[in-house]
Amino acid sequence: MPRLRFTKFQVFVHLAALAPLALLLWDVWRGNLSVNPIQDITFRTGKAAIVLLIACLACTPANTVFGFRQAIKVRRPLGVYAFGYALIHFFIYIGLDYGFDFRLIWLELTEKRYVLVGFAAFLILLPLAITSTKGWQKRLRRHWRTLHKWVYVAGILAVFHYLWVQKADIRQPLLWGALLTLLLALRIPYLRTKAARLRGRLHGSLRRSSSGRTTLQRLRPAGMRNDDEYIVGAAESDP
- Both 73 and 148 in one domain: the answer is yes
218 vs 188, higher pLDDT: 188
Any domain includes 84: yes
- Mean per-residue pLDDT, 84-111: 94
What pLDDT is recorded for position 204? 66
Distance from C-alpha of 233 to C-alpha of 237, rounded to nearest angstrom: 6
Any domain includes 141: yes
Range of the domain at 84: 8-187
Any domain includes 43: yes
- Both 111 and 227 in one domain: the answer is no
Any domain includes 56: yes
Alpha helices in 1-112 (DSSP H): 8-30, 37-64, 70-91, 102-111
pLDDT at 35 over 60: yes
**Max CA separation in the chain (angstroms):** 84
- Both 221 and 153 in one domain: the answer is no
CA angle 162, 164, 165 (to 5 degrees): 65
Any domain includes 2: no
Domain count, the chain: 2
Distance from C-alpha of 24 to C-alpha of 10, rounded to nearest angstrom: 22
CB atoms within 10 A of CB 185: 13
Any domain includes 3: no
Q: Please, are residues 162 and 50 in contact by the beta-carbon 8 Å criterion? A: yes
Which residue, among 41, 190, 1, has the nearest Cα to 32 in the 3D structure? 41
CB atoms within 10 A of CB 92: 19
- Both 146 and 108 in one domain: the answer is yes
What pLDDT is recorded for position 111? 93
Whichever domain contains 77, its CATH number is 1.20.120
What pLDDT is recorded for position 114? 95
Any domain includes 166: yes
Any domain includes 1: no
Distance from C-alpha of 216 to C-alpha of 237, rounded to nearest angstrom: 12
CB atoms within 10 A of CB 202: 10
User: Is the pTM here over 0.95, yes or no?
Assistant: no
What pLDDT is recorded for position 219? 45
- Both 208 and 175 in one domain: the answer is no
- Both 82 and 163 in one domain: the answer is yes
